[in-house]
Structure 1
């Protein structure tokens, strides 16, 4: 009897596992509360919850949402969402920043999908629906062909005009320094104070700790970090932080 019960429980567990693994919005007609769910509704909700930081640590975009995310990244809506983030940064600068203009006012920028767009790479590599091949991405970066994000370039130049020290802190590895500098300059970024990339001592740290450690070092040197602009929460979370942080939209990937 006990053996039969154990066997039935095993079969039940397997069936539940298969059911969960096979779940797909395309097979669902109604949501939990009887609401009619379309693929667009579901994928927009997934994207929104990525931005709200409710969905974390995902390796790939859900298969059923890859096309939707690809369209979003090339859409006017993505540009408007990015522009609004930068506009809020500008409002903050003009209303809440009492810049000392003594050489210690600073602003931190991430690079990938903050200053430079990796969308051309992801367009050819599954729009986040394929697990990232870091070697392939770095080879693409070495060509230095990433386009500028225009709204970020506008903020970059505004800060430079105000005399704010611009510090670029990226999870790119040190071996990409030359290609990164060439790419940035080619698309219009120049005049930053410092470009900080991951050295060999940083490669075993998670990105959030690495970037928090960089901020700690900058503050110890006397910098007042008024703001951070990045596309990942790992660029803006952790202590010490800036007086304000601003996150650009990016549902393509998650960097912890």
Structure 2
């Protein structure tokens, strides 16, 4: 009887193990149901991407390897552009009735730079599309070439906001040594007329990006500026005090900056 019970337990545990493996959507060893695996993997990766955008998934250093191709397809798709354009339309809607601009030179708006004004997608096309840890030296060397293309939807928005007489402040986590390259790149693709460009100095290099952004916003508020809005692709562009009246997040699931 004891031997029978032991044998039953072993068989049961093997069966449970098989069932568990079947329900692991990342386990591709059960080839007979490959179509279901692929569909579940697509759902998993889309869920992962959406939860990055919702700021539920934080602090990742790389895109899960099984989702790199999915993220690549999204970030180079018409859907990515449509989602970005919709975010910009929401900014326009907000500006159409949100604010009483005083015209005293203190109304302001903040833009991030990378994947907000300029696209880094050409770089990531050649560097794993988020599936590899970011090589800071390689990325900075690419930025120094000043070849990043503009994101057309935010280029239009930039000039619309500027033409309203609102001060535009550019706050980027790029380092100060990239200033001339950044200015050249921005001007070359059509951005001009911003009030100031803030990059991370040596004293900011060990500060978390969200705290760095918060510090710069505090300096603006201390100088009497009213920050009507911020648009960026990272949650660290918005975190902390003081807050803007509204924030607008552009999609980006390639990397996460804390």
After TM superposition, is the score higher than 0.5?
Answer: yes
Give the secondary structure class of the aligned counterpart of 2:191: coil
Gaps of 5+ in 2: 1-19, 31-35
**TM-score calculated relative to the size of structure 1:** 0.87
Indicate how the Cα distance of structure 1 residues 25 and 183 shifts in structure 2: closer, same or farther if over 3 A, else same. same
**TM-score calculated relative to the size of structure 2:** 0.86
Gaps of 5+ in 1: 1-18, 30-34
The aligned runs of 1:1-256 (5 Å cut-off) are 25-27=26-28, 38-256=40-258
Aligned partners of 2:29, 2:111: CA distance in 1, in Å?
Answer: 41
User: What is the CA-CA distance between 1:176 and the residue it aligns to?
Assistant: 0.1
Aligned partners of 1:26, 1:121: CA distance in 2, in Å?
Answer: 31
Deviates more, 1:36-45 or 1:155-164: 36-45
Aligned partners of 1:59, 1:219: CA distance in 2, in Å?
Answer: 33
RMSD: 1.8
User: What is the CA-CA distance between 1:26 and the residue it aligns to?
Assistant: 4.4
Aligned partners of 1:216, 1:65: CA distance in 2, in Å?
Answer: 38
Aligned partners of 2:101, 2:49: CA distance in 1, in Å?
Answer: 36
Aligned partners of 2:107, 2:155: CA distance in 1, in Å?
Answer: 19
Q: How many pairs are equivalent?
A: 231
